[in-house]
Amino acid sequence: MNIIPMVAEAAGITGNLHIGLAALGAALGVGIIGMKASEAVGRNPGAATQILVQAILSTAFAEGIVFFAIFLTK
Amino acid sequence: MLRSEALRILVAFLLLSGGAAVASDSGHAEHDLSAKALEVFSVGPLKVTNSMLVTWVVAAAVIAFARHATKQIREVPEGAQNLWEWLVEGLYGFLEGVVGHDLVKKTFWFFSTIFLFILATNWFGLIPGVGTIGWSHVPIGTTSFSHIETPLLRGVNADLNMTLAMSMIFFVCWTVWALQANGPGGFLLHIFGPKGQTTGALKVLMIAVFLCVGVLEVVSILFRPVSLSFRLYGNVFAGENMLESMSAIVPSLAWLIPIPFYFMELLVGLVQALVFMLLTAVFTLLICTHEEGAHH
Q: Domain of B153?
A: 46-294
Q: Return the higher-pLDDT residue of A6 and B103.
A: B103
Q: Which residues contact B220 (CB under 8 A, 6 or more apart)?
A: none
Selected residues 230-289 of chain B with any CB under 8 Å from a CB in chain A: 230-231, 233-234, 271, 274-275, 278-279, 282
Reported confidence tier of residue B124, pLDDT bands at 50, 70, 90? very high
pLDDT(B21) > 70: no
- Identify whether B17 is part of a domain: no
Range of weakest confidence among A19-33, B74-88, B193-207, B276-290: B193-207
Task: Specify whether the CB–CB gap between A71 and A19 falls below 8 A.
Answer: no
Distance between CA B72 and CA B228 in Å, rounded? 38
- Identify whether B33 is part of a domain: no
Question: What is the average pLDDT across B254-265?
Answer: 90
- Identify whether B13 is part of a domain: no
Question: What is the average pLDDT across A8-22?
Answer: 78
Distance between CA B129 and CA B134 in Å, rounded? 9
In tens, the pLDDT along A16-39 reads 788 888 899 999 999 999 999 999
- Chain A interface, best mutation among B99, B164, B226, B272, by max A CB count within 10 A: B226
Distance between CA B55 and CA B57 in Å, rounded? 6
Cβ <8 Å between B227 and A49? no
- The DSSP symbol for B139 reads P
- Chain A interface, best mutation among B111, B227, B229, by max A CB count within 10 A: B227
- Residues of A with a Cβ under 8 Å from any B Cβ are 49-50, 53, 56-57, 59-60, 63-64, 66-68, 70-71
Question: What is the average pLDDT across B164-169?
Answer: 95
pLDDT at res. B13:
45
pLDDT at res. B11:
45
pLDDT(B5) > 80: no
Number of domains in chain B: 1
What is the interface pTM, i.e. ipTM, of the complex?
0.71
pLDDT at res. B130:
85
Long-range contacts made by residues B102-105, C-beta under 8 angstroms, separation at least 24? Answer: B103/B284, B103/B285, B103/B288
Q: How far is A3 from chain B (nearest CA, A)?
A: 30
pLDDT at res. B45:
86
pLDDT at res. B95:
93
Reported confidence tier of residue B150, pLDDT bands at 50, 70, 90? confident
Q: Return the higher-pLDDT residue of B230 and B249.
A: B230
Question: What is the average pLDDT across B159-165?
Answer: 93
- Positive or negative, the CA dihedral B168, B172, B173, B179 is positive
Reported confidence tier of residue B84, pLDDT bands at 50, 70, 90? very high
- Indicate yes or no: pTM above 0.90: no
Spell out the domain ranges in chain A.
16-71
Mean pLDDT over the full length of chain A: 85
Cβ <8 Å between A56 and B275? yes
Distance between CA B164 and CA B172 in Å, rounded? 12
